[in-house]
Amino acid sequence: MSIDKTVLGKENIVSIKEATKNKDLKGSAFSKGLYDWVMFVLSFYVRVKEKLNIDFDSFVILQVVVSHSLYEINKTGPKTFLELGEQMAKLRNKKTKSDAKLTFASISDVLSLPRETVRRKVLNLCKKNILSFYNDDGIKIGPAYKLIYADFVRHTTFDISTLAKKWKKSGVLDDLLEMEQYHG
């Protein structure tokens, strides 16, 4: 994936004026929803630093590896929380086709980070057993990811649920779901 796939082009930008033309997103419900979002992001950031004891670039590198794993797992259909944990462990030991393996270069391309930075951070995550690196199989989630999945992912899922409930109660969730992309 190149940076072009993660950057919004002019045709994808939604004008706030246009988006709020038929909605009252500029009122107190929007500000409350935005406040709840910012607090969610801040809490998430602090938990990454304190619970996982890694910097945010390393966390985002981990997310690329996790997304690659989820892509492979989802080829056989959706999984429950428990099934997904089991599948992640199995995927760690499964041989990878050379064209499907995750490399320093591919992560570097996705995140627009220097290859050397990605290599250094991946190797640091490998020392913590969060990731594993094999010349033949590429970069995979490591054995310690099981603990991250059991605790961090569960906690994050709960926090997202809490955020969605706050947004539903304030009406922001319905407003967001009704927003349409501006094409003008």
Encode 72-131 in three state secondary structure: HHHCCCCCCHHHHHHHHHHHHHCCCCHHHCCCHHHHHHHHCCCHHHHHHHHHHHHHCCCE
Residue that wins the pLDDT comparison between 139 and 86 = 139
Q: What's the domain range around 67? A: 24-171
pLDDT tens for residues 100-114?
A: 789 999 999 999 999
Q: Evaluate if pTM is beyond 0.75.
A: yes
Specify if 36 maps to a domain.
Answer: yes
Q: Which pLDDT value is given to residue 3?
A: 47
133 secondary structure, DSSP code:
E
What CATH number is associated with residue 105?
Answer: 1.10.10.10
Specify if 3 maps to a domain.
Answer: no
Specify if 182 maps to a domain.
Answer: no
How many CA atoms lie less than 13 Å away from 153 in the CB half-sphere?
14
Specify if 18 maps to a domain.
Answer: no
Domain count, the chain: 1
Specify if 97 maps to a domain.
Answer: yes
Q: Which two tokens stand for residue 137?
A: 């199989």
Q: What CA–CA distances, in Å, run from 168 to 30, 45, 176?
A: 12, 24, 10
Provide the pLDDT confidence category of residue 182 given band limits of 50, 70 and 90.
low
